[in-house]
Structure 1
């Protein structure tokens, strides 16, 4: 997954402004207690996206939960 695709998915899921807030502030246990932004520094974007999908479940539109 390209980073641009990751951010498109985040914006579609959370909205233009809230997506960056989620990425900065939300710490996910599945990402070893790191925020999305921290995890993106050294983890594949697809792996981070899948962790977001699992954490937010039905909030993520089904067609982009991949």
Structure 2
């Protein structure tokens, strides 16, 4: 997962405003007690951060792997 795909997944799942608040305010134990933004800045892979965020916020597992992928080209 690229960073741009991570950002799209967050926006698609949570909306842009709430998603950005989660990234900067929600401390996730699984990420070493860091926010998603801090974890990404520390070099953790976006996919790892995305999955931790999903688990922490109760996102259904059916949304974990497809989110953030670009729409197919026509």
TM-score, length-normalised on structure 2? 0.78
> Residue by residue, what CA displacement relative to the aligned partner does 1:20-64 show, whole Å, maximum 9, x if unpaired?
110000000000000000001110001101101111223x572x3
Structure 2 equivalent of residue 39 of structure 1: 39
Structure 1 equivalent of residue 14 of structure 2: 14
- Mapped to 2, the partners of 1:36 and 1:9 lie a distance apart of 13
Which structure 2 segments of 5+ residues have no match?
66-74
TM-score, length-normalised on structure 1? 0.87
Which structure 1 segments of 5+ residues have no match?
none
Structure 2 equivalent of residue 65 of structure 1: 64
Higher helix share: 1
- Mapped to 2, the partners of 1:11 and 1:61 lie a distance apart of 17
Shift in CA distance, 51/23, structure 1 to aligned 2, threshold 3 Å: same
Higher strand share: 1
Q: How many residues align?
A: 64
- Mapped to 1, the partners of 2:37 and 2:5 lie a distance apart of 15
